[in-house]
Amino acid sequence: MTKRDQPKPEARASTAPPTTKDPTRKIGPGVESEVIEGDRDNTAKRAESLQTPPISEAAAANRLAILASSSYLLAENDTDFIKWTENRPLRMQLELLKTETLLREHHIDSTVVVFGGTQIMPREQAEAVLSEATANAQKHPDDPKAQRMLERAKRIMAKSHFYDEAREFSRIVSSAKHSNGHSKFVVMTGGGPGVMEAANRGAFEVGAKSVGLNIDLPHEQEPNPYITPDLCFQFHYFALRKFHFVLRAAALVVFPGGFGTLDELFDCLCLRQTRRMQQIPIILYGREYWDSVITFKQLADEGVVDDDDLKLIDYAESPQQAWDIISQFHGLG
> Is the domain of 201 the same as that of 146?
no
Last residue of a domain, one of 139, 158, 177: 158
> Are 192 and 219 a contacting pair, CB within 8 Å?
no
DSSP 183: B
Please say if the pLDDT value at position 282 is more than 50: yes
Range of the domain at 134: 123-158
Helix axes 123-139, 161-175, angle to 10 degrees: 170
pLDDT, tens digit (0-9, with 9 covering 90-100), for 11-46: 444 444 444 454 444 444 444 444 455 566 666 666
Residue 8: count other Cβ atoms within 10 Å of its Cβ: 5
User: pTM for this one?
Assistant: 0.82
Q: Which residue has the higher pLDDT, 316 or 8?
A: 316
Mean pLDDT, the chain, integer: 89
**119: helix, strand or coil:** coil
pLDDT attached to residue 293: 96
φ/ψ of 265, rounded to 5, equals -60, -50
Tell me, yes or no, whether 33 lies in a domain: no
> Is the domain of 148 the same as that of 293?
no
pLDDT, tens digit (0-9, with 9 covering 90-100), for 94-120: 999 999 999 999 999 999 999 999 999
Tell me, yes or no, whether 202 lies in a domain: yes
- In this prediction, residues 301-313 reach a mean pLDDT of 97
pLDDT, tens digit (0-9, with 9 covering 90-100), for 236-271: 999 999 999 999 999 999 999 999 999 999 999 999
> Is the domain of 258 the same as that of 141?
no
> Is the domain of 149 the same as that of 285?
no
> Is the domain of 144 the same as that of 228?
no
pLDDT attached to residue 41: 62
Cβ burial of 81 (10 Å; 0-12, 13-18, 19+) is middle
49 band by pLDDT with thresholds 50, 70 and 90: low
> Is the domain of 154 the same as that of 227?
no
**Torsion angle (degrees, nearest 10) of CA 269, 273, 276, 279:** 80
Return the bridge partners of 253, or none. 114, 283
Return the bridge partners of 188, or none. 113, 211
85-100 residues labelled b (16+ CB within 10 A) or e (exposed): eeeeeeeeeebbeebe
> Is the domain of 171 the same as that of 246?
yes
Last residue of a domain, one of 137, 158, 179: 158
Mapped to the 3 state alphabet, what secondary structure does 20-88 carry?
Answer: ECCCCCCCCCCCCECCCHHHHHHHHHHHHHHHCCCCCHHHHHHHHHHHHCHHHCCHHHCHHHHCCHHHH
> Are 111 and 188 a contacting pair, CB within 8 Å?
yes
Return the bridge partners of 294, or none. none
Tell me, yes or no, whether 81 lies in a domain: no
- The whole-angstrom separation of Cα 177 and Cα 163 is 24
Adjacency order of strands within the sheet including 111-115:
232-235, 210-215, 186-189, 111-115, 249-254, 282-285, 313-316
Please say if the pLDDT value at position 329 is more than 90: yes
Using DSSP bridges, classify how beta strands 249-254 and 232-235 pair: parallel, antiparallel or unpaired.
unpaired
pLDDT attached to residue 28: 44
> Is the domain of 184 the same as that of 299?
yes
In sequence order, the 6+-apart residues with CB closer than 8 A to the CB of 82 are 90, 91
pLDDT, tens digit (0-9, with 9 covering 90-100), for 162-197: 999 999 999 999 999 877 777 899 999 999 999 999
- The whole-angstrom separation of Cα 216 and Cα 128 is 29
> Is the domain of 310 the same as that of 167?
yes
pLDDT, tens digit (0-9, with 9 covering 90-100), for 127-166: 999 999 999 999 999 999 999 999 999 999 999 999 999 9
Last residue of a domain, one of 158, 180, 206: 158
Q: How many domains does the structure of the chain reveal?
A: 2
Residue 126: count other Cβ atoms within 10 Å of its Cβ: 22
- In this prediction, residues 271-289 reach a mean pLDDT of 97
> Is the domain of 127 the same as that of 224?
no
> Is the domain of 222 the same as that of 99?
yes
pLDDT attached to residue 166: 98
